[in-house]
Amino acid sequence: MTILGFIALMAIVIACLGLLGMATYMAERKTREVGIRKILGAKDLRITLLLSKGFFKMLLVSVFIGAPLGYFMNNLWRQKFPNRVEFGMGTLLSGTAILMMLGLLTIGSQTIRASKSNPIDSLKND
C-alpha cells in the first residue's frame, strides 16, 4: 500500500507539473492580449477568470471521467482483499476536492501572475 501511495503521489506531482507548464505557456502567449485588456480597463479578477476558464473546464471533464471510473475500479480491486476498508462517496468527494484545489492552485498561480503584470512591459516591444 505504501508503494501504491507513493506512485499515486508521483502521478499527481507529474500531472500538476504538466498543468503548470501548460498554464505558463498560455500565460506567455497571451501577454499582449492581457496588456491590451488592462489598458482598456479590465480588472485583474476578470483577466484571471478569462485565462483560467479553459483549464477549469478541462479539470471538470477529467473529474467527471475519472471519479466514476476510479470508484468502480477501486470497488473491483477491493473485492480481492479479505479485510475490506470502507470506500464511499465521502472518500471520493474529498479526493476530488483535494485534486481540484491542487489544480486551481497550479493554474491560479500563473494566471494571477499574468494578470498582475505591467501592461506597458508587454506592449512596448511592438
* Structure-block grid coordinates of residue 6: 507513493
DSSP for residue 59: H
pTM of the model: 0.77
pLDDT at 31: 86
115 pLDDT band (50/70/90 cuts)? confident
pLDDT at 67 over 80: yes
pLDDT at 65: 93
pLDDT at 18: 92
Which stretches within the chain are classed as H helix?
A: 2-29, 31-39, 44-78, 89-115, 119-123
pLDDT in tens, 71-105: 888 888 778 777 767 777 888 888 889 988 998 89
By the 10 Å C-beta count (0-12 exposed, 13-18 middle, 19+ buried), 34 is classed as: buried
* Structure-block grid coordinates of residue 103: 489544480
pLDDT at 6: 93
pLDDT at 90: 86
pLDDT at 126: 61
Domain regions of the chain by residue span: 2-119
Section 38-43 average pLDDT: 88
The answer to whether the beta carbons of residues 117 and 47 sit under 8 Å apart is no
The Cα 57–Cα 55 span in angstroms is: 5
pLDDT at 25: 92
